[in-house]
């Protein structure tokens, strides 16, 4: 049986054994008609360490670390959306909240392990002892594929990590990565000290070498030769130009800000070129040591991180909008978990998975400014809870992907999300 | 790690342990003898069989009385039998607790649980559920008693109640008896005793209370609480713990404490230079003694120095690491830390005052001729992640070796007095220091003793030739030699220990040979070169296939194979092909004419209406899919049946059957080297082989390669993949294991038989975190680790795939969930119930309209008992015969190992040889290699023959490799298409084309470029400040297999490994993964753009293809006499062949241009890098912002790479480098010929 045929066979037989997380399995039969958005690419900003929702997008009355009084660390400010406030260090995004939905009721049960929470927020499901799940980026790459032949569908701007990888989908749906916007992705950017002249000479030499079998070879060898050609093309001037941030105006580059802002700018250039999913990592721990993981004194400089995020994301939104791409580009901000309103002994905050905020912007959604409500301390969800699968389903639906579709780990059907249901309001 | 181990508890029914006086009140007592009447669960580090109170000091105890010892990282637990148990005490009940304790050096204020019930942090109970507890608190050298319980929380009331004794006993003064007695609800009833004397105390927290305490069913813990928190854990020895349900009397307690000789007076032992025996004439002896009593001070008068457990010899007073420790089977285990290391030698010193420099991590003493010359204190504990960055000192001389990260250094002087007017004389020098200890790794760091010499120092050595100046390059040379000696020492130690098991394995292999003789009398032990059998069997199958070809006309044959068979194969064979669901198979004409369970023939030739198959298809219940079979396919099948259901044989296409030509010698040596040592042959090896005219040169080459230690470096990767070796450097994550790579590597390096390696793997021995096979037993974040391991073992060694069986019975296999858990229970040594999270919820089935393909036959919560479910598939059953193969026939884990590796297990030997065959031929005789059900072998006779050969040759895989490599089949051109062919069309007329593995690519790059891997040590702990179980150290990689996942999920530059990353990038592009969350039987090998991309543009290739300063490629260019000879060398190095005439014509002009003037008057020294050393980043300082800068600086340096050799004219050098680049980037570099 051809693999293709076998897959359709399995899909039809509906022997979904993928998830053992209860309840969701029942949800599909009575689902309302599928929701489909029209975004064709995703820029996913990852805040490693765990963004404190109460200090950013879900502000509450201020507390006092010295007095051990629970509450926010900063003052809230009003935004473009009536009744929706954000913290004082997000002034630029505040003006754009009509293009944004801060989903304030995301939750999971992972508390104290960064790797596990990172995994949950990249794969959208609890780990399984028998399956390595693909990341959302790989799922989108798998489902949307290349928009135009020859552009990698999934680019990671951050350190490589198995959690961000393709899991059972296999290397074809993996990422290209880079950790420095002044360099291209590892493997596809020609070293700076190799001139075009040298590169041409190298390729001439390469063509001068005989193949062992005079071209009578098996398909796998011919495929490898095609891959050589393709990699030479991708590392050539055409695709490499996408990494030339110097082409942008100095003014725009300044608006985006430092290295993180430049990453966002590069993401915009990548999605314009047809990349489907860009993950941008924002946790270089230069500003406050711990990045978003603001235990103890890490919180003292937390506002610098928030301000950097504010400038970069606000610029990204307006930049995409001015280029008429905002409706087709879904911006997502996700994080490991949130942080509790209480302060730890060092004046910082611990971890809180039971209620935290992830953010959606652009992508043609019917934005609300905020969605879901927490109590007066941002500790408990009081309305419209959004599970991680629901949040993933919302992203999928926004990009036209059926969140219930089965992918296959060998024989085993695995739905794209673990029974997630998109937030309907954003699609009306 | 959770280990279950039964030790020595006697519940009240066991009268032999009952005290005489008020024995009826004792409800439980633990004497920690060697007998084990009832199980107690042991957690973490618990040392058994430690000497307890003994005569003559304590005459009431037995001479061999034993106790347990805890180091703050372990405890014991005992389950509460349930409600109203003897461990439940409510108001009015009296409790008395007593114990013998011996405290090591606790930290000031350390609170140590002796025994308590509740407060375990179990999720089943409130966290503050202390039923009762006896602790000791150490303060300023005195230990006091502390009795603690909680009452149910009530508003406005304190619910903790703590009583602390007023008097105590001095710590580190041997054994003491403690007791406390209390009647709940009567605060005044409390009384404590120390060494038989009563002590008063105070209710100093929560006050006295008449309220009733918390009573629940939480566990009783000995030695800790709060989930095992080290700040509440006991550090010292414990013996004779008892719980009474009555108040104790003074007479009883007095009788318990009988000590002869009064209280111990404890003071440090006098400092005396140790008398080290057997000091060699011209070297430094290093002695190692585990089990030192304390990690921060020298022994007290009450303590003994540990026995020497190992010694080796080195040239200088220089050492960079403690050798690995091996258990009595030669499997890596842990040192009993702290380890006392002594280095001793007789050094000739000049007369006069001499200054000595010592560098060491922690406590040390340097002695010269009995005089204490220098010493260092115990190291300060580093913690957190904000320790300051330690700057690199600037040495007063160029290239001076400076003190290593977190090492201490100090100097001392000694006056060498003249003897008989000589200018120098021999002095005995002894340097002793401690390594490791509680919470610290057993890592020494770079340790040395040096002697002042002018402005700087020389390494101290008894051999003047080895007394090298203390410079970076000389120390590097000396350390390479010392590492070599330590490796030899480790090999010797390990092999000596392993030899103790040789008689057992000799006997097992005799049984195995006898088994073959008995069961396969035709299979005689032949000469090693019986590869002809393989070739004969291959020719036989090809011949038979041509014979059977088409008796039908071509049109019928084509119609059947193009139209009819695909429908049957796609729609029916999944269940009715090699498998026979419903008792029916549809994969041959004979089979379709039979009846399944329905008792009606599936096909009646000529009559579709009477054919059950057609009836079921028409009824829509077959195939069991929503849409059924397309109507045109139904029509096709009906027409086929109507025409008589012909099943014509098809002539195999010629490209599958024509024997491939044999490859030439150049290709052969490349192929054979890659398949054995995993790297390219050197240019010299290729040249020698090409000029060898010996008729048996290929056989001889194979023999040499199979004896090369590189064989282990190549094959270990395969086993790491197959067995899901998955160590993580940062936090444990999904299915993290220990680094049992070292166990596998040692086994391969020592040429262990495969049945022995597998047995020792399954027995999970040695240290889980330091490379023992116990590391295989770990699976982090997995709800059923033993089920995960059972799955791995079954697929790797039996070809039984049970992934689905984890949560439900397999839909496409015959295995059930019970089978998997029965195997897991054998590993577990006790019954095992599938966890709720590994089960398809019942709701899933309720939502299904039709019968589900999957079934859960095991009721929730059923504990599956250990059992062997593979008798049918393997041919070996769990009967008394198997006892002959075992050391302990009652151990279910060993039983599992014996059943898997038994000679009667047909499957095991076949699966092993199939793995080997696939690796060498590019396709297995059975495919897939890890899932044999329903997948018959293409050549059953070859499979059987090789399996018997494996058994009869003592399970030595090298024998099988030799057989295959000497066959014509292996030596054919790689034009086979076996992998894609079904078994009946898989002829092995040629091997399949294989791309190099990722490791082969990397190792070959280094080999061809003449360089060695030089990256940072793979760890985030460079200061020893985390126990090895918390964060691993995987050492400095020497070969590609030694790398690991560099996951940096925190995205912190300070947690990147910039030097390793470029190599890992290449490895990952070519299909290697350091995260083996699941077993990898076959790696992904599809070409993708990143593979050529990373070779063309990646940092590793940039570095290795450069004629960098002093590199092998630069030297090659400098030494060349003719451009054509240089070109030949490059081709030999990178492609293992000489250039063709056409290639020479293309390349030679480029290389010749400027050849004569290529050498310029450069100076190698000035072209060497002069970058300053960067401070060390490690976990304990990684949140200091400078740590990011340092690692990013490293990244820049790595990207920049080494400077070019300035003795070469730049324009010519670049042409030369570009030729090298093109050789690396050619397809034939990464494809095995």
- pLDDT 10s digits, B335-378: 999 999 999 999 999 999 999 999 999 999 999 999 999 999 99
Cα angle B436, B437, B443 (rounded to 5 degrees) comes to: 15
What's the average model confidence in pLDDT over B419-427?
92
What's the average model confidence in pLDDT over B1107-1121?
95
Query: How close, in Å, is residue A77 to chain B by CA atoms?
Result: 30
Residue B524: per-residue pLDDT = 65
Chain B residues near residue A127 by CB distance under 8 angstroms: 734, 781
The residue in chain B having the minimum alpha-carbon distance to the alpha carbon of residue A216 is B975
| pLDDT tens digits along B227-237 | 888 888 998 99
Residue B156: per-residue pLDDT = 73
Query: How close, in Å, is residue B767 to chain A by CA atoms?
Result: 23
**Cα–Cα distance, B1132 to B241 (Å, whole number):** 73
Between A151 and B62, where is the model more confident?
A: B62
* pLDDT band at residue A16 using 50, 70 and 90 as cut-offs: very low
Position B1063 pLDDT exceeds 50? yes
Sign of the Cα pseudo-torsion (B830, B831, B836, B839, in order): positive
Residue A11: per-residue pLDDT = 30
* pLDDT band at residue A23 using 50, 70 and 90 as cut-offs: very low
Position A36 pLDDT exceeds 50? yes
Closest CA to B442 of B322, B348, B273: B322
Lowest pLDDT segment from B209-213, B768-772, B839-843, B1151-1155 = B839-843
Closest CA to A318 of A374, A277, A273, A261: A261
What's the average model confidence in pLDDT over B121-150?
90
Give this prediction's pTM. Answer: 0.84
Contact B843 A23 (CB under 8 A): yes
What's the average model confidence in pLDDT over B107-132?
88
* pLDDT band at residue B105 using 50, 70 and 90 as cut-offs: confident
Cα angle B414, B415, B419 (rounded to 5 degrees) comes to: 130
| pLDDT tens digits along B1154-1165 | 999 999 987 776
Contact B1085 A220 (CB under 8 A): yes
| pLDDT tens digits along A272-284 | 999 999 999 996 6
**Residue B1230 touches partner A, C-beta closer than 8 Å:** yes
Between B430 and B562, where is the model more confident?
A: B430
What's the average model confidence in pLDDT over B408-422?
94
**Cα–Cα distance, B356 to B346 (Å, whole number):** 15
Burial of A383 (0-12, 13-18, 19+ CB in 10 A): exposed
What's the average model confidence in pLDDT over A315-319?
98
* Residue of A187, A222, A239, A289 to mutate for B, most B C-beta atoms under 10 A: A187
Chain B residues near residue A290 by CB distance under 8 angstroms: 1183
At B1166 the three-state DSSP class reads helix
| pLDDT tens digits along B509-527 | 999 999 998 998 777 655 4
Sign of the Cα pseudo-torsion (B677, B680, B686, B692, in order): positive
Residue A6: per-residue pLDDT = 30
Query: How close, in Å, is residue A188 to chain B by CA atoms?
Result: 6
- Nearest CB to A25: which of B843, B1048, B1221? B843
**Cα–Cα distance, B1219 to B78 (Å, whole number):** 70
Which residues are paired to B236 by β-bridges?
B70, B103
% of chain A at pLDDT higher than 90: 62
**Residue B302 touches partner A, C-beta closer than 8 Å:** no
Lowest pLDDT segment from A388-402, B232-246, B536-550, B1197-1211 = B536-550
**Cα–Cα distance, B818 to B831 (Å, whole number):** 11
Query: How close, in Å, is residue A132 to chain B by CA atoms?
Result: 7
* Residue of B1219, B1227, B1228 to mutate for A, most A C-beta atoms under 10 A: B1227
Query: How close, in Å, is residue B829 to chain A by CA atoms?
Result: 21
Indicate the pairing of strand B284-289 with strand B310-314.
antiparallel
> Where is mean pLDDT largest: B253-267, B472-486, B574-588?
B472-486
Position B1201 pLDDT exceeds 50? yes
Position B47 pLDDT exceeds 90? no
Question: How high is the ipTM of this complex?
Answer: 0.83
Query: How close, in Å, is residue A15 to chain B by CA atoms?
Result: 6
Q: Give the mean pLDDT of chain B.
A: 91
Contact A198 B1218 (CB under 8 A): yes
Chain A residues near residue B624 by CB distance under 8 angstroms: 13
Q: Say which residues have a Cβ less than 8 Å from residue A246's Cβ, sequence separation at least 6.
A: none
B874's enclosing H/E stretch is: helix B871-874
**Residue B1065 touches partner A, C-beta closer than 8 Å:** yes
B1113-1150 burial: b if 16+ Cβ within 10 Å, else e: bbebbeebeebbebbbbbbbbbbbbbbeeebbebbbeb
* pLDDT band at residue B15 using 50, 70 and 90 as cut-offs: very low
Query: How close, in Å, is residue B1218 to chain A by CA atoms?
Result: 5
What's the average model confidence in pLDDT over B124-134?
89
Residue B602: per-residue pLDDT = 87
| pLDDT tens digits along A79-130 | 999 999 999 999 999 999 999 999 999 999 887 788 889 999 999 998 887 8
Position B459 pLDDT exceeds 70? yes
What's the average model confidence in pLDDT over B22-46?
75
Query: How close, in Å, is residue B860 to chain A by CA atoms?
Result: 14
What's the average model confidence in pLDDT over A312-318?
98
For the range A193-197, what are the long-range contacts, defined as Cβ-Cβ under 8 Å and sequence gap of 24 or more? A196/A237
Lowest pLDDT segment from A361-370, B77-86, B907-916 = B77-86
The residue in chain B having the minimum alpha-carbon distance to the alpha carbon of residue A2 is B570
Chain B residues near residue A220 by CB distance under 8 angstroms: 993, 995, 1085-1087
Position B712 pLDDT exceeds 50? yes
The residue in chain B having the minimum alpha-carbon distance to the alpha carbon of residue A167 is B1077
Query: How close, in Å, is residue B1003 to chain A by CA atoms?
Result: 19
Residue A214: per-residue pLDDT = 61
Between B14 and B29, where is the model more confident?
A: B29
Residue A5: per-residue pLDDT = 32
Q: Give the mean pLDDT of chain A.
A: 87
Instruction: Determine contact, residues B897/B757, Cβ cutoff 8 Å.
Output: no
Residue B6: per-residue pLDDT = 35
Position B2 pLDDT exceeds 60? no
- Nearest CB to B1094: which of A13, A48, A186? A186
What's the average model confidence in pLDDT over B990-995?
95
Structure tokens at B1191: 């690692």
* Residue of B383, B1080, B1096, B1136 to mutate for A, most A C-beta atoms under 10 A: B1096
% of chain B at pLDDT higher than 70: 96
Residue A10: per-residue pLDDT = 27
Chain B residues near residue A183 by CB distance under 8 angstroms: 1199
Chain A residues near residue B1090 by CB distance under 8 angstroms: 171, 176, 187-188, 231
* pLDDT band at residue A28 using 50, 70 and 90 as cut-offs: very low
How many interface pairs between A and B have CB atoms less than 8 angstroms apart? 276
Chain B residues near residue A172 by CB distance under 8 angstroms: 1086, 1088
At B1033 the three-state DSSP class reads strand
* pLDDT band at residue B848 using 50, 70 and 90 as cut-offs: low
* pLDDT band at residue B568 using 50, 70 and 90 as cut-offs: confident
* Secondary structure in 3-state letters for B767-798: CCCCCCHHHHHCCCCCCCHHHHHHHHHHHHHH
The residue in chain B having the minimum alpha-carbon distance to the alpha carbon of residue A6 is B570
B687-701 burial: b if 16+ Cβ within 10 Å, else e: eebbeeeeeebbbeb
Contact B1227 A225 (CB under 8 A): yes
| pLDDT tens digits along B627-640 | 678 888 888 888 88
Which residues are paired to A106 by β-bridges?
A356, A386
**Cα–Cα distance, A93 to A314 (Å, whole number):** 5
The residue in chain A having the minimum alpha-carbon distance to the alpha carbon of residue B1047 is A161
| pLDDT tens digits along B542-557 | 998 887 775 677 788 8
Residue B550: per-residue pLDDT = 58
Between B110 and A289, where is the model more confident?
A: B110
CA-to-CA dists, residue B325 to B310, B343, B479, B502, B1017, angstroms: 10, 18, 20, 20, 20
What's the average model confidence in pLDDT over A242-247?
92
- Nearest CB to A289: which of B811, B1084, B1183? B1183
Return the DSSP state at B560. I
Position A17 pLDDT exceeds 60? no
Instruction: Determine contact, residues A267/A43, Cβ cutoff 8 Å.
Output: yes
Residue B218: per-residue pLDDT = 92
What's the average model confidence in pLDDT over B679-693?
97
| pLDDT tens digits along B153-202 | 877 778 899 999 999 998 888 899 999 999 999 999 999 999 999 999 99
What's the average model confidence in pLDDT over A188-213?
91
| pLDDT tens digits along B274-295 | 999 999 999 999 999 999 988 8
Position B1199 pLDDT exceeds 90? yes
What's the average model confidence in pLDDT over B1118-1146?
97
What's the average model confidence in pLDDT over B584-611?
85
> Where is mean pLDDT largest: A244-248, B655-659, B715-719?
B715-719
Contact B840 A284 (CB under 8 A): no
What's the average model confidence in pLDDT over B864-877?
95
């Amino acid at each position: 049986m051809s693999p293709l045929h076998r897959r359709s066979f399995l899909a039809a037989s509906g022997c979904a054994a993928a998830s053992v997380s209860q309840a969701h399995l029942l949800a599909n039969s009575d689902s309302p008609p599928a929701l489909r958005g029209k975004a064709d690419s995703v820029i996913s900003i990852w805040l490693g360490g765990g963004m404190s929702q109460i200090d950013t997008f879900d502000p509450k009355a201020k507390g006092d670390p010295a007095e051990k009084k629970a509450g926010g660390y900063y003052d809230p400010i009003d935004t473009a959306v009536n009744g929706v406030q954000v913290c004082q260090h997000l002034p630029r995004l505040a003006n754009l909240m009509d293009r944004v939905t801060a989903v304030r009721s995301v939750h999971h049960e992972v508390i104290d392990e960064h790797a596990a929470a990172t995994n949950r927020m990249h794969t959208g499901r609890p780990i399984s002892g028998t399956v390595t799940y693909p990341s959302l980026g790989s799922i989108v790459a798998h489902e949307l594929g290349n928009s135009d032949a020859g552009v990698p569908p999934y680019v990671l701007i951050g350190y490589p990590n198995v959690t961000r990888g393709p899991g059972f989908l296999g290397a074809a749906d993996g990422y290209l990565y880079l950790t420095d916007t002044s360099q291209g992705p590892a493997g596809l950017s020609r070293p700076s000290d190799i001139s075009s002249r040298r590169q041409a000479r190298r390729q001439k030499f390469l063509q001068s070498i005989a193949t062992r079998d005079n071209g009578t070879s098996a398909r796998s060898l011919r495929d490898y030769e095609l891959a050589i050609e393709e990699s030479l093309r991708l590392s050539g001037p055409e695709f490499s130009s996408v990494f030339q941030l110097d082409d942008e105006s100095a003014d725009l580059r300044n608006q985006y800000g430092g290295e993180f802002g430049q990453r966002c700018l590069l993401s915009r250039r990548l999605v314009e070129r047809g990349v489907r999913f860009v993950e941008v990592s924002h946790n270089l721990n230069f500003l406050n040591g711990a990045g978003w993981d603001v235990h103890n004194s890490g919180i003292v400089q937390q506002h610098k991180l928030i301000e950097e995020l504010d400038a970069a994301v606000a610029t990204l939104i307006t930049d995409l909008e001015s280029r008429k791409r905002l409706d087709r580009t879904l911006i997502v901000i996700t994080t490991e978990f949130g942080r509790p309103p209480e302060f730890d002994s060092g004046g910082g905050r611990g971890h809180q998975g039971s209620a935290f905020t992830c953010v959606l912007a652009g992508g043609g959604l019917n934005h609300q400014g905020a969605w879901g409500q927490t109590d007066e301390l941002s500790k408990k969800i009081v309305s419209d809870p959004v599970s991680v699968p629901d949040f993933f389903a919302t992203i999928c639906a926004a990009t036209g992907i059926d969140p219930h579709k089965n992918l296959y780990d060998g024989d085993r059907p695995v739905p794209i999300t673990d029974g997630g249901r998109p937030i309907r309001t954003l699609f009306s | 790690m959770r280990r279950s181990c039964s030790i020595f508890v006697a519940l009240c029914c066991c009268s032999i342990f009952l005290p005489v006086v008020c024995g009826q009140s004792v409800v439980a007592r633990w004497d920690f003898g060697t007998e084990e009447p009832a199980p107690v669960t042991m957690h973490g580090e618990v040392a058994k069989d430690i000497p307890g109170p003994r005569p003559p000091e304590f005459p009431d105890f037995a001479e061999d009385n034993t106790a347990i010892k805890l180091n703050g990282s372990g405890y014991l637990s005992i389950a509460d039998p349930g409600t109203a148990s003897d461990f439940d005490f409510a108001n009015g009940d009296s409790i008395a607790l007593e114990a013998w304790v011996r405290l090591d050096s606790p930290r000031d204020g350390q609170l140590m649980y002796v025994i308590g019930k509740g407060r375990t942090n179990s999720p089943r109970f409130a966290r503050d559920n202390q039923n009762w507890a006896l602790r000791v608190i150490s303060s300023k050298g005195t230990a006091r008693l502390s009795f603690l319980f909680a009452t149910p929380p009530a508003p406005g009331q304190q619910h903790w109640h703590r009583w602390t004794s007023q008097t105590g006993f001095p710590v580190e003064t041997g054994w003491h008896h403690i007791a406390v007695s209390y009647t709940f609800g009567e605060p005044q009833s409390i009384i404590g005793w120390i060494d038989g004397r009563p002590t008063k105390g105070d209710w100093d927290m929560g006050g006295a209370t008449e309220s009733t305490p918390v009573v629940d069913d939480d566990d009783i813990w000995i030695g800790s609480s709060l989930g095992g928190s080290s700040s509440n854990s006991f550090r010292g020895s414990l013996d004779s713990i008892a719980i009474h349900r009555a108040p104790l009397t003074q007479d009883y307690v007095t009788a318990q404490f009988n000590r002869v000789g009064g209280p111990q007076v404890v003071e440090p032992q006098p400092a005396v230079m140790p008398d080290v025996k057997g000091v060699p004439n011209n070297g430094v002896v290093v002695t190692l003694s585990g089990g030192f009593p304390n990690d921060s001070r020298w022994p007290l008068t009450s303590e003994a120095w540990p026995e020497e457990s190992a010694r080796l010899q080195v040239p200088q007073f220089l050492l960079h690491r403690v050798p690995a420790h091996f258990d009595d089977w030669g499997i890596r285990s842990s040192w009993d830390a702290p380890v006392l290391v002594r280095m001793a030698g007789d050094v000739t010193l000049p007369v006069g005052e001499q200054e000595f420099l010592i560098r060491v991590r922690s406590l040390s003493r340097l002695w010269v001729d009995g005089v204490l010359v220098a010493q260092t204190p115990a190291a300060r504990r580093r913690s957190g992640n904000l320790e300051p960055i330690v700057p690199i000192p600037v040495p007063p001389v160029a290239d001076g070796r400076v003190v290593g990260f977190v090492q201490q250094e100090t100097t001392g002087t000694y006056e060498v007095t003249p003897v008989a007017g000589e200018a120098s004389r021999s002095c005995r020098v002894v340097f002793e220091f401690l390594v490791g200890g509680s919470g610290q790794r057993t890592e020494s760091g770079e340790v040395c003793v040096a002697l002042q010499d002018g402005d700087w120092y020389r390494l101290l050595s008894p051999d003047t030739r080895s007394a090298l100046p203390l410079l970076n390059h000389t120390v590097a040379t000396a350390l390479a030699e010392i590492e070599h000696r330590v490796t030899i020492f480790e090999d010797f130690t390990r092999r000596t220990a392993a030899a103790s098991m040789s008689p057992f394995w000799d006997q097992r292999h005799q049984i195995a040979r006898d088994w073959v003789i008995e069961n396969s009398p035709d299979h005689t032990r032949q000469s090693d070169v019986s590869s002809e059998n393989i070739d004969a069997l291959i020719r036989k199958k090809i011949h038979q296939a041509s014979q059977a070809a088409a008796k039908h006309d071509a049109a019928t044959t084509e119609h059947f194979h193009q139209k009819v068979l695909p429908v049957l194969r796609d729609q029916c064979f999944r269940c009715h092909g090699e498998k026979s669901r419903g008792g029916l198979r549809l994969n041959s004409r004979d089979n379709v004419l039979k009846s399944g369970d329905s008792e009606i023939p599936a096909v009646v030739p000529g009559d579709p209406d009477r054919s059950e198959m057609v009836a079921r298809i028409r009824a829509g219940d077959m195939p069991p899919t929503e849409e059924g079979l397309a109507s045109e396919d139904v029509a096709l099948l009906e027409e086929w049946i109507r025409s008589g259901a012909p099943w014509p044989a098809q002539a195999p296409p010629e490209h599958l059957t024509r024997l491939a030509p044999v490859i030439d010698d150049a290709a052969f040596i490349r192929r054979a080297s890659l398949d054995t040592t995993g790297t390219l042959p050197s240019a010299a090896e290729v040249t020698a082989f090409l000029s060898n005219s010996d008729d048996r040169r290929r056989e001889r080459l194979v023999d040499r390669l199979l004896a090369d230690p590189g064989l282990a470096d190549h094959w270990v990767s395969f086993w790491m993949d197959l067995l899901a070796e998955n160590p993580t450097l940062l936090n444990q994550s999904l299915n993290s294991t220990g680094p049992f790579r070292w166990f596998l590597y040692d086994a391969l390096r020592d040429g262990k038989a495969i049945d022995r390696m597998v047995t020792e793997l399954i027995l999970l021995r040695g240290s889980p975190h330091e490379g023992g096979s116990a590391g295989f037993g770990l699976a982090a974040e997995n709800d059923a680790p033993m089920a995960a391991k059972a799955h791995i073992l079954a697929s790797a060694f039996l070809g039984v795939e049970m992934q689905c069986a984890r949560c439900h019975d397999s839909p496409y296999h015959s295995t059930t969930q019970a089978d998997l858990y029965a195997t897991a229970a054998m590993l577990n040594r006790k019954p095992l119930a599938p966890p709720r999270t590994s089960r398809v919820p019942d709701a899933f089935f309720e939502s299904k309209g039709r019968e589900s393909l999957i079934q859960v036959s095991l009721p929730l919560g059923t504990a599956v008992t250990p059992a062997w479910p593979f008798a049918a598939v393997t041919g070996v059953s769990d009967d008394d015969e198997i006892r002959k193969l075992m050391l302990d026939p009652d151990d279910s884990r060993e039983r599992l190992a014996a059943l898997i590796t038994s000679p009667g297990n047909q499957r095991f030997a076949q699966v092993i040889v199939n793995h080997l065959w696939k690796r060498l031929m590019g396709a297995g005789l059975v495919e897939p290699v890890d899932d044999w059900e329903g997948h018959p072998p293409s050549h059953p006779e070859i499979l059987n023959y090789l399996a018997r050969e494996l058994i009869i040759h003592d399970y030595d895989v090298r024998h099988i490799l030799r057989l295959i490599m000497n066959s014509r089949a292996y030596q054919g051109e790689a034009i086979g298409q076996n992998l894609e062919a079904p078994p009946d069309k898989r002829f092995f007329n040629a091997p399949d084309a294989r791309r190099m593995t990722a490791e082969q690519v990397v190792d070959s790059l280094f080999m061809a470029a003449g360089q060695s891997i030089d990256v940072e040590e793979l760890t985030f702990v460079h200061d020893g400040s985390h126990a090895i179980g918390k964060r691993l150290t995987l050492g400095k990689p020497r070969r590609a297999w030694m790398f690991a996942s560099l996951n940096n999920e925190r995205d912190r530059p300070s947690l990147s490994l910039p030097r390793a990353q470029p190599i890992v990038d290449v490895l990952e592009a070519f299909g290697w993964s350091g995260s083996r969350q699941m077993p990898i039987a076959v790696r992904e090998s599809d070409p993708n753009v990143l593979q050529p991309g990373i070779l063309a543009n990646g940092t590793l290739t940039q570095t290795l293809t450069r004629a960098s300063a002093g590199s092998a490629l630069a030297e090659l260019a400098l030494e060349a006499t003719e451009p054509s000879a240089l070109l030949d060398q490059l081709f030999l190095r990178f492609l293992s062949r000489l250039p063709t005439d056409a290639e020479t014509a293309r390349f030679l002009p480029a290389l010749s241009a400027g050849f004569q003037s290529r050498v310029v008057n450069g100076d190698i020294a000035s072209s060497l890098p002069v970058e300053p050393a960067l401070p060390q980043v490690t976990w304990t300082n990684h949140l200091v912002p400078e740590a990011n800068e340092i690692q990013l600086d490293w990244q820049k340096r790595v990207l920049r790479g080494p400077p070019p050799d300035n003795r070469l004219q730049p324009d010519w050098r670049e042409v030369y480098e570009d030729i090298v680049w093109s050789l690396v980037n050619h397809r034939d570099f990464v494809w095995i010929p």
